[in-house]
Amino acid sequence: MSAVMDSYRSILDQPESRFPLELGTRNPKIRKLFHASLTSQWNPVTVIDWDAIDPAAYTPEQRMALRTRWSRRAWGEYGAISESPALQVRFCHDAVDPDARLYFSIRSQEESRHAEISYLLAEKFGGYIDAPAADYENSVSTHGVRRLALDLDVPVECTVAALVCAAEQVIFNLFKHVAEITTQPAIRKTYQLILRDEARHCAFGWYFVASRLPGLGAQGRRRIRDAVAKMVQEVELNGYQIAWLAPESEASRAQIESDRILWEAGLGASVEELEKPVFVSSLRDIRGRMKREWDIELPVFHHPKTGDI
């Protein structure tokens, strides 16, 4: 075990101290997101007319690509399910604004419906695939948020800034692009439903970090910057969302090829030439917003496929 591992201090080893328990509104913007979530429920089983989808109308290659695409989506959404509760525990431990504690419980629930609808689409088109190919697992399995969320020595705003304001914001922008070029009605609707939820998830991140800034000095801001930079460089630019950014392998090549098959038929995927400008401008927007709203300057990012961003 390395020295770094030895020094890991988990909040789970701390005694729990819950009282005095404040539940009044401290952050009206986040409380509003909570109430918006409560009135924006949808059920994956009934929100789509599943019987209206005829898998036989698609070629075997398209069906295989859809299975792969939506299985991969399900893995990503499951990542949120497995990690979101760790942040919930952290919010309660740190006694952050009650609004955030209430809101995040429903945020986890929303990720669950994203996972289920992705699973159902994969099933519809030939069967959900329950694990990535071995040489691809590192790119898609996790962004390490569960561990970070429970790490006493990592301030919670660093994790939220990296996970939400960087990673989730990038996904949101990519999904918006894909939704716009998708013509298959059930798939387009799925993207739109997920996007409506994700708009709130992203808003939460920006509101939450903004609410923490007054308590942070220059050092706290630096830590946020480093956490975001690490997420972008080591997770996003390693192909967590986008196959053409992943290290070249047989699996990533197959993923790129299957996304192209879907894109050509309006079946809910995009290709490098269209996705690249969306991805790059998404990172530029994030950099601009962090500078404007948080006075935090992100470093320049680099990937061979995009150059400096």
- The number of residues making up the chain comes to 309
Q: Which is nearer to Fe ion, 198 or 236 (CB)?
A: 198
Q: Which is nearer to Fe ion, 74 or 92 (CB)?
A: 74
* Residue 292: CB minimum distance to Fe ion, A: 23
* Residue 104: CB minimum distance to Fe ion, A: 11
Q: Which is nearer to Fe ion, 76 or 239 (CB)?
A: 76
Residues engaged in binding Fe ion (CB under 5 A): 77, 111, 114, 198, 201
Q: Which is nearer to Fe ion, 163 or 237 (CB)?
A: 163
* Residue 161: CB minimum distance to Fe ion, A: 15
Q: What are the DSSP calls for the chain, one per residue?
A: --HHHHT--BGGGSPP---S---S-S-HHHHHHHHHHHT----HHHHS-GGG--GGGS-HHHHHHHHHHHHHHHHHHHHHHHHHHHHHHHHHHHT--HHHHHHHHHHHHHHHHHHHHHHHHHHHTT----S--GGGHHHHS--SHHHHHHBTTS-HHHHHIIIIIIIIHHHHHHHHHHHHT--SHHHHHHHHHHHHHHHHHHHHHHHHHHHHGGG--HHHHHHHHHHHHHIIIIIGGGTSS-GGGSPP-HHHHHHHHHHHHHHHTTSS---HHHHHHHHHHHHHHHHHHIIIII---PPPPEETTTEE-
Q: Which is nearer to Fe ion, 77 or 99 (CB)?
A: 77
Q: Which is nearer to Fe ion, 216 or 236 (CB)?
A: 236
Q: Which is nearer to Fe ion, 83 or 198 (CB)?
A: 198
* Residue 13: CB minimum distance to Fe ion, A: 29
* Residue 118: CB minimum distance to Fe ion, A: 9
* Residue 133: CB minimum distance to Fe ion, A: 23
Straight-line distance from the first to the last Cα atom of the chain, in angstroms, rounded to the nearest whole number: 36
The residue type found at 275 is: E
* Residue 298: CB minimum distance to Fe ion, A: 21
